[in-house]
Each structure stands twice: as C-alpha cells, then as structure tokens.
Amino acid sequence: MSSIEERYSIWGVDKLVYGPIDRETLLRWTRDGRVTSETWVHDKQIDFWLQGEKIDFIKPELVKYEGKTIRVGASPDADEEEVKLTPDSLRSFELFSELSDHKLEQIIMFSSIRKFAGGAMIVRKGEPGKSLYLIVEGHVTASITVGGKKEKLAEIGEGDFFGELALFTRMPRSADVYADLPTVTLVLDFDTLELMARELPELSSVILIRMGKVLALRILEDNKRYQERVAGEFLWV
C-alpha cells in the first residue's frame, strides 16, 4: 500500500493520533463507531484537520450509523438549512477583527456551527460544559433562578461570546442561557483548542491572547460597576 493511499489520521478520544490509514480503513472505523461526526480527521493530501461530518465520502456512513448528523447541542426546533460562514462573518468579533482571511477560514474549519430557535435553551445551569459560544446572528439572555424567581444576568448579542468559564475550567455552567430569537453560534470547545495548539500553535496563541484582553476589559467594567454601586449605597447611609 502506498503512502499516498494512507493519507488519513484521526485524533482519538484519548487525545492520541492514530494512523496513517487509507480510505477503506477510515470507512470501516466509521462503521465501527470509532470515527463519528465530531471526530477530527487529518488529510495528509491537503494537510488539514476536518471533523468527520465535513468529509463527504464518510457522510453516508455517518447518516447510516448515527441516524442523523446533527451537531451536539443544536436545538431540534432550529431551521435545518445549512449555514455557511465566511471570514467577513467573523469580522464583528473583537477577538478576530485583526486576523487575516486565511486565519479566519482556519477558525471556521475548526469550529462547529450551531443554530437555535427562538426560546431554545442553549446551556443549562449546573450542566457540565467545555465550549465557548460566539454569537454570529441573534441574541441570547443569561439568567439564574433564585427562590423561584428568574434573575437576568446579561443580554448578549452579535459579535459577543459566552461560556468562557466552562471552556477553561470545565466547571458546571453557572447560568441558564436562552436564545431570545433565532440564533446562529460558532462553537469552540476545549478539545478543539488543544488540537489547534498542537497543529496551529500560532493561531491558537493569537486567539488566547486576544481572548485574555477581552476578558480583562470585562473584569475592569465589572469592577467599575461594583464600585459605583457601593458608592451609591454609601451615599444613602
């Protein structure tokens, strides 16, 4: 068997790379459930990692053995029409505003696109989580329930993101997040960032540095609001 035929490798759930393997072996691993719609597969010919659901010749096997290749977390009420993102779709995000088209295309390839119908729950408080959600279209509200009463924590719109605590700490979700209207999100999870750090260290470093800057500004804004609230309470004493 020639090295050209053995062009595929997979990123296993144990975070080890298996391969290279040929096309038929990749198909067999898909039938066996070893490769799923979310498994990362490296194609040596194009030197890039793709999720199983993005590889045309294994899609029929995924449909056959998984029933339907829906991204995990997508609302069953969401419109099934496929969403295609371009670099321009990400320009509104401060995280990505200065990145080249090539780097933005890489981010899109390494990410998942998830759509939610208006009113759908995106994340639930207390559930495990490891993903960051970036809002491409739509609007969401984060809230918690205290004493049977729902308390709004934040409204988050296009060009913003949520879920960073779960992404880095893998702690349970700290709030419920609902889609206020039909919403399209770009999702980055911890395993994907690890893979990017391995395969595209320059790109992953840029993302993490810019994310750190955005989070630092959020902390400063929260501190300012807290100080203003405390000062206001002091005036009434």
Residue 53 pLDDT class (50, 70, 90 cuts)? confident
CA triple 173-203-59, angle to 5 deg = 70
Query: What's the mean pLDDT in 182-200?
Result: 85
Over 50: is that where the pLDDT of 74 sits?
no
Phi-psi sector, 69: left (phi>0), alpha (psi -120 to 50), beta: beta
Check residue 237 and give its pLDDT.
52
Which of 13-22, 112-121, 157-166 has the lowest average pLDDT? 13-22
Check residue 195 and give its pLDDT.
82
Which tokens hold the place of 170? Answer: 């893998």
Count CB atoms within 10 A of the CB of residue 108.
17
- Length of the chain equals 237
Q: Pick the more confident residue, 169 or 179.
A: 179
Domain 87-235: CATH superfamily is Jelly Rolls (2.60.120.10)
Each residue of 81-101: pLDDT tens digit? 567 788 888 888 888 888 888
The dihedral formed by the CA atoms of 122, 125, 131 and 137, expressed in degrees to the nearest 10: 30
Q: How far apart are CA 179 and CA 173, in angstroms?
A: 16
Check residue 69 and give its pLDDT.
36
CA triple 176-78-66, angle to 5 deg = 100
Q: In terms of Cα–Cα distance, which of 215, 212, 202, 195 is closest to 99?
A: 202
Over 80: is that where the pLDDT of 13 sits?
no
Q: What is the pTM of this model?
A: 0.66
| Cβ proximity of 187 and 108 under 8 Å | no
Over 60: is that where the pLDDT of 78 sits?
no
| Cβ proximity of 136 and 95 under 8 Å | no
Which tokens hold the place of 119? Answer: 């009113």
Over 80: is that where the pLDDT of 114 sits?
yes
Enumerate helices (H) and strands (E) in the chain, giving the number of each.
Answer: 6, 12
Which tokens hold the place of 172? Answer: 């349970």
